[in-house]
Structure 1
Amino acid sequence: MFCVLDIYKRNLEIIYKTTLCSKATFVIIITTIAAIVFPFIFAYRSRGFWLKHDTFYEQPNVRFKGEYFFVGFTNDISNVIICNNIYDFPKLRKLDKCSTFKVKEIDKNYDGKPDTLEFHMELTFAPNVHYLQHFILILPLDYRLQTTCPLKMQSAIILQQTILPRANHLTITANLMLKQKAPLHCYPKVTDKLLNNIIMIQETHSYNDNLDNFNVNKIINNYLQRNFTTHLSEIYTSYDLTSENFKLHLLVDYPEQAVYYRPGFWQVLKWAWIQYLAIYIAFAWLINKIQNYIFENDLVLAYKSLPSTLMQRIADRKKNY
C-alpha cells in the first residue's frame, strides 16, 4: 500500500468578461478605488500618517572657547565687579577683581568628546566689600552635533545666581541641555551653520566713553531669542562660609540628550508607506472576497471564460455520464 501526498497544487484562473458600460465594470471600478483610497483615509484620520518631526539621541561635542564674562554685585552697591577676557578697554579693567581663573575639560570615556567642564575662579574683595549678593557668569561654547543632523553653533553657559550672605565659597553642579523652540532642519550631508555666530557683542568702541551703555541683559536676551540655545538644568548648589574671598567651583556635564528634528522627504514617505501598506493588505483581502462573492453568485451580468483544461475535464465528465 502506497501513501499518497498532495505535494503541489495551483488554481485555475476563471476570467469574467463584459462590456465597458456595464454594471460589472462599474462594480470593479468602485471596489478597486475603495481598496486604494480607504486605506489612505483610514491611515490619515488615525493621525501620525505624515511624520512632522522625529527624535534622535546624541551626546554633543562641546568645546570651551577660552572666554568668560563675570558680573558680580556686592553688598556695596557702588562696587560692581566685572571680570572678562573678551572686552578689553580701560574702564572695565578697573573693575576686574578676579585673581584666579582655571578651566579643565574632562573626557571620561576617552571618545574624543569632553564629558565635563570644570570651571574655577576666585575674587579678591576691596576693603569695603564683604560678600557677593548676586552674579552673572557667561561662558561661550562651541556646540556641535555630528550624526543624524549635523549642526555647528555658538552657544553659552549662562549662570545667574543669588548668594546667601557671606557664603563666599560656592560649588555648583549642573547638566548642559539643548533647548529648542522649533525642530532642527535635517540635511545629513550638510552642516547647519546658521547659528554659528559670536554671542558676545564685539563692538566695544561704543562703551569707551560711557560704561552705562554696557548692558549684560541685552546680551542674554539676544541669545535667548534664538531657536536653539543651551541652558543649565538639574542645578545643585552648595555653600561654604569659611572663605574670606569669593570662590566659585562650577561642574557642568554634557549628557546625551534628545534632539527634535524635521525629517526629510524619503523618511516621511517611508513612514507613510509602511502605515498605508499595512492597512491596504487588510482592505485588499476584504475587497477581493466581495468581488469573488459578486461574480461567483452572478449578481452582475458577465461572461465567464474557463481555462481549456477545465473545459476539457467538464467535457470528459459529460461523456462518462
Structure 2
Amino acid sequence: MALYELFSHPVERGYRAGLCSKAALFLMLSAALTYIPPLLVAFRSHGFWLKRSSYEEQPTVRFQHQVLLVALLGPEHGGFLAWSTFPAFNRLQGDHLRVPLVSTREEDRNQDGKMDMLHFKLELPLQSTEHVLGVQLILTFSYQLHRMSTFVMQSMAFFQSSFAVPGSQLYVNGDLRLQQKQPLSYGGLDVRYNVSVINGTSPFAHDYDLTHIVAAYQERNVTTILTDPNPIWLVGRAAEAPFVINAVIRYPMEVISYLPGFWEMIKFAWIQYVSILLIFLWVFERIKRFVFQNQVVTTIPVTAVPQGELYKEHLS
C-alpha cells in the first residue's frame, strides 16, 4: 500500500551556551550588524529625513477692490495720470488725478465655492489731446490656504507695460501665482503677512511710491505675482473715448511647499529603514544558521519536542 505524507511540522532546534560565551558574543555582534548598518545606509543615501514636502490646493482668493493706477502720458501733457481707491493718495495727485469707471466680476466656474478668476475693467477718461503710452497697475487680493496650515495674507498683482505708440485699450490675461522663498509650516495659523500691501491711511507720498511698495512687498517670504499676462496693446483711440484696461486674472491650483511634521518625517524615514533592514535580516539569519549548525562557536544543540509528541511519550 502506497504511503503519502498527510501532515508535517518543523522540528525546532535550539543552541544553548553561557551569557559570556563566544556564541553570546557572536549573537550580540550579529544583532548590531543587523540593525545599525541599515540606519547608516539610509541616512547616508540622503533624503532620510523628509525636510520639505508639497501638496496641491486651490487657494481661496478674493479681490479686495483696492486699485492703484498710473497712466503714462506724453511729456507735453504732464507725464502721467493717477488714481487709486485710497483717498489719501488721490489728494496728493493734484491736477494729475483722473477718476475712472471701474467694474469687476469674480467667477466660480466649477461651483466649488472658491473663485476661479477675476474680470476687471477700467475706463480712464481722456481729453482728445491726451494719449496713453504706458500703464502701471496694482490690484490687491485676500489669499488663503487651509489644507495644512491656515495661511492668510493680503497680496497683490502688479503689472506695468509701455509702448512707443499711443493706445486705446490694454488687454491682460494671466495667472495669479504663489511664490515661496521658504516653505510654510504643516499646521497652525500663519497671519504674518495679513497686512495691507499699501498703507492707504498714510498722508505721505513716499508710502505710495511704486518702488517703495514693490520693494517692501518683495521682502516677504511668500508673495503672489501675475504671471504670463500676455499684454495686447490696441491702438486707434477715437476722440474723447476713454482708455480701457481689460484684465482677466485666474486663480489656479497651486503646489504648496511646506515643512512636514514629526510623524510624517518618522513615517518617511521608517519606510526607508525597514526596506534596507529586511535585506540584512535575511542575510544574517542565514549566517547565524550556518554558524550554529556547523558549530563554528561551541554550543549545546537541543531539539524541541512538539507538545503532542511529548504527551505521547509520557503515556507510553
Asked whether the two chains share a fold, i.e. TM above 0.5, the reply is: yes
Is the partner of 1:200 in helix, strand or coil?
Answer: coil
d(CA) in 2 for partners of 1:100 and 1:67?
A: 14
Does the CA-based 8 Å contact 2:15-2:302 persist in structure 1?
yes
1:153 is aligned to 153
User: Of 235, 240, 251, which residue of structure 2 is paired with 1:241?
Assistant: 235
Is the partner of 2:49 in helix, strand or coil?
Answer: coil
Structure 1 position 83, deviation (Å): 0.9
1:198 is aligned to 196
State whether structure 2 residue 231 is matched by structure 1 residue 230: no
1:111 is aligned to 112
Structure 1 position 99, deviation (Å): 2.5
Structure 1 position 248, deviation (Å): 0.7
Would you say how many aligned residue pairs link Structure 1 and Structure 2? 305
2:126 is aligned to 125
d(CA) in 2 for partners of 1:149 and 1:4?
A: 66
Closer, same or farther: CA 162–2 of 1 in aligned 2, 3 Å: farther
Structure 1 position 91, deviation (Å): 2.7
2:48 is aligned to 49
Structure 1 position 96, deviation (Å): 2.4
d(CA) in 2 for partners of 1:302 and 1:125?
A: 103
Structure 1 position 202, deviation (Å): 3.3
Q: Which runs of 5+ in 2 are unaligned?
A: none
Structure 1 position 237, deviation (Å): 1.8
Structure 1 position 164, deviation (Å): 4.0
Structure 1 position 101, deviation (Å): 0.7
Closer, same or farther: CA 6–182 of 1 in aligned 2, 3 Å: farther
Q: Which runs of 5+ in 1 are unaligned?
A: 317-321
State whether structure 2 residue 122 is matched by structure 1 residue 99: no
Is the partner of 1:236 in helix, strand or coil?
Answer: coil
d(CA) in 2 for partners of 1:172 and 1:251?
A: 6
Does the CA-based 8 Å contact 2:165-2:235 persist in structure 1?
no
Does the CA-based 8 Å contact 1:150-1:186 persist in structure 2?
no
Amino acid at match of 1:139: L
Amino acid at match of 2:251: Y
Does the CA-based 8 Å contact 1:137-1:158 persist in structure 2?
yes
Closer, same or farther: CA 214–172 of 1 in aligned 2, 3 Å: closer
Does the CA-based 8 Å contact 1:70-1:138 persist in structure 2?
yes
Does the CA-based 8 Å contact 1:69-1:138 persist in structure 2?
yes
Closer, same or farther: CA 81–10 of 1 in aligned 2, 3 Å: farther
1:174 is aligned to 174
d(CA) in 1 for partners of 2:73 and 2:6?
A: 95
d(CA) in 1 for partners of 2:177 and 2:196?
A: 19
Structure 1 position 152, deviation (Å): 1.0
Amino acid at match of 2:223: T
TM value normalised by structure 2: 0.89
Does the CA-based 8 Å contact 1:60-1:144 persist in structure 2?
yes
Query: Equivalent pairs: percent with the same residue?
Result: 27
Amino acid at match of 2:93: L
Does the CA-based 8 Å contact 2:169-2:235 persist in structure 1?
yes
1:280 is aligned to 277
Closer, same or farther: CA 91–202 of 1 in aligned 2, 3 Å: closer
**Per residue, is there more strand in 1 or in 2?**
2
1:319 is aligned to none
d(CA) in 2 for partners of 1:43 and 1:70?
A: 56
d(CA) in 2 for partners of 1:249 and 1:5?
A: 86
Structure 1 position 41, deviation (Å): 1.2
Does the CA-based 8 Å contact 1:172-1:235 persist in structure 2?
yes
d(CA) in 2 for partners of 1:3 and 1:19?
A: 44
Is the partner of 2:269 in helix, strand or coil?
Answer: helix
User: Of 286, 291, 316, which residue of structure 2 is paired with 1:289?
Assistant: 286
Deviations 1:7-40 (A, max 9, x none): 5x43332221222222211111111011111111
d(CA) in 1 for partners of 2:224 and 2:253?
A: 13
Cα RMSD over matched residues?
2.3
